[in-house]
Amino acid sequence: MIQENINSKGFVDIVVTDLETNEVIERYRRNTVLLSGKTLMARSLAGEINDPFDFYVYSMEFGVGGLDGSTPKTVSSGLTSLYLSAGVDVLVGRSWSNSAPTQAVFTGTLNTATGNGLDINEAALKTANGELFSMITFPPLSKTSNLQITLNWTIVFS
């Protein structure tokens, strides 16, 4: 039997823009593709799909439970939810290109009116059927109405 490993991995570029001072801070984090995300991919390839099709990344969910003290928690691939959801979901922009055919990019933004007063420290890509695909934790971002937080999330198959 011939077997080839196809790994799915990802990284997130977190861009925090202070609209009052025009200061921009960028953070890069690796994500964890969750077991539920890998299962969705396998089911889709096997034709085990829902009607209507809902195995695509639809939104980004943000949370406030991603810390252990002051350290970002390690994300286990078996998680099925954020550690503590903040109840903040944003729709994502999705892109794929022939120039990078083995990757997909998802962009979600917390605008100046969303998530204010929260210390955001975890996020996940969520599919249209509500399952999480991948997740990250990171040092807290204290969201205010002056801040816009954009996550550019790239999933790569290698």
pLDDT in tens, 19-28: 999 999 999 9
Q: What is the pLDDT of residues 109-147, one digit of tens each?
A: 999 999 999 999 999 999 998 999 999 999 999 999 999
pLDDT at 85: 94
Higher local confidence (pLDDT), 42 or 146:
146
The residue type of 84 is L
Is the pLDDT score of 9 beyond 70?
yes
Query: Are the C-beta atoms of 72 and 139 separated by less than 8 Å?
Result: yes
The ranges assigned to domains in the chain are: 8-157
Q: How many CA atoms lie within 13 A of 83 on its CB side?
A: 18
pLDDT at 3 over 80: no
CA distance 78 to 88: 22
What does each C-alpha distance from 45 to 25, 42, 48, 151 come to in angstroms? Answer: 39, 5, 8, 28
> Which of 153, 151, 152 lies closest to 141 in space, CA to CA?
151
pLDDT top residue among 137 and 7 = 137
Q: What is the mean pLDDT of the chain?
A: 90
Q: What pLDDT is recorded for position 158?
A: 77
Pair type for strands 147-157 and 8-18: antiparallel
Model confidence pLDDT, tens digit, residues 63-82: 999 999 999 999 999 999 99
